[in-house]
């Protein structure tokens, strides 16, 4: 029997920020701990998956905010993203550790973090605490900022470098 694609289940995890803000307020009233992380998540790899698994351990609900295609082009230049925002959101939503995914269009997630006021803000350990966007907002509201160790050998930049080298070797 062929697999029947059921988009609806994980697609329900992809939500606009306005809906998430209301949901976060309700969840906090219920005593749930909200964890937030953000990034481009272009070319999803095991380093991303491990960061998200560790982030989930820090609370009850994990929200992943991804940069829009336009935001990534502004930050990283033409040629990026490799994967369109809709597909990046769908891949993240399919992960069991991720409860919600949202897309933001700004260069920085500060407005979104200010709106959601998560209990825990998570970034990779390659970020210095003072560089983590939203750290002041989260701490001011009694939350904490956690830097998760990276998985050696896994980064989007490294993957792109290896792919480019393979392409050069074939020509």
pLDDT digits (tens, 9 = 90+) for 116-169: 999 999 999 999 999 999 999 999 999 999 999 987 766 767 776 677 777 778
Residue 44 phi/psi, 5-degree rounding, is -55, 130
Consecutive H or E run containing 28: helix 17-29
Does the global pTM surpass 0.85? yes
Consecutive H or E run containing 148: strand 144-148
Report d(CA 157, CA 169) in Å as an integer. 18
Q: What is the DSSP letter of 35?
A: E
Residue 171 pLDDT more than 90? no
CA dihedral of 33, 45, 162, 133, whole degrees rounded to 10? -20
Percent over 70 (pLDDT), the chain: 91
Percent over 90 (pLDDT), the chain: 74
What per-residue confidence (pLDDT) applies to 7? 58
Residue 90 pLDDT more than 70? yes
Report d(CA 102, CA 98) in Å as an integer. 11
Residue 66 pLDDT more than 80? yes
Q: Which of 61, 69, 37, 66 is nearest to 50 (CA)?
A: 37
Residue 59 phi/psi, 5-degree rounding, is -170, -165
* Architecture of the domain made up of 7-170: 3-Layer(aba) Sandwich (3.40)
How confident is the model over 64-90, as a mean pLDDT? 93
What per-residue confidence (pLDDT) applies to 76? 86
Highest mean pLDDT pick, 3-7, 81-85, 112-116? 112-116
Q: Answer for the pair 125, 149: CB distance below 8 angstroms, yes or no.
A: yes
Report d(CA 103, CA 85) in Å as an integer. 8
How confident is the model over 46-72, as a mean pLDDT? 96
What per-residue confidence (pLDDT) applies to 86? 96
């Amino acid at each position: 029997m062929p697999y029947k694609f059921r988009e609806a289940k994980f697609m329900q995890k992809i939500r606009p920020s306005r809906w998430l803000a209301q949901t976060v307020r309700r969840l906090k009233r219920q005593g749930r701990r909200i964890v937030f992380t953000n990034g481009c998540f272009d070319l999803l790899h095991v380093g991303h998956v491990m960061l998200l698994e560790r982030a989930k351990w820090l609370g009850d609900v994990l929200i992943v905010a991804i940069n829009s295609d336009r935001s990534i082009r502004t930050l990283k230049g033409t040629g990026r993203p490799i994967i369109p925002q809709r597909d990046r959101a769908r891949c993240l939503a399919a992960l069991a550790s991720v409860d919600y995914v949202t897309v933001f269009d700004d260069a920085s997630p500060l407005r979104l973090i200010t709106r959601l006021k998560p209990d825990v803000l998570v970034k990779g350990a390659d970020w210095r605490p003072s560089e983590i966007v939203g750290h002041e907002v989260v701490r001011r509201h009694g939350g904490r900022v956690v830097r998760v160790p990276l998985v050696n050998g896994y980064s989007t930049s490294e993957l792109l470098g290896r792919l480019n080298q393979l392409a050069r070797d074939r020509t």
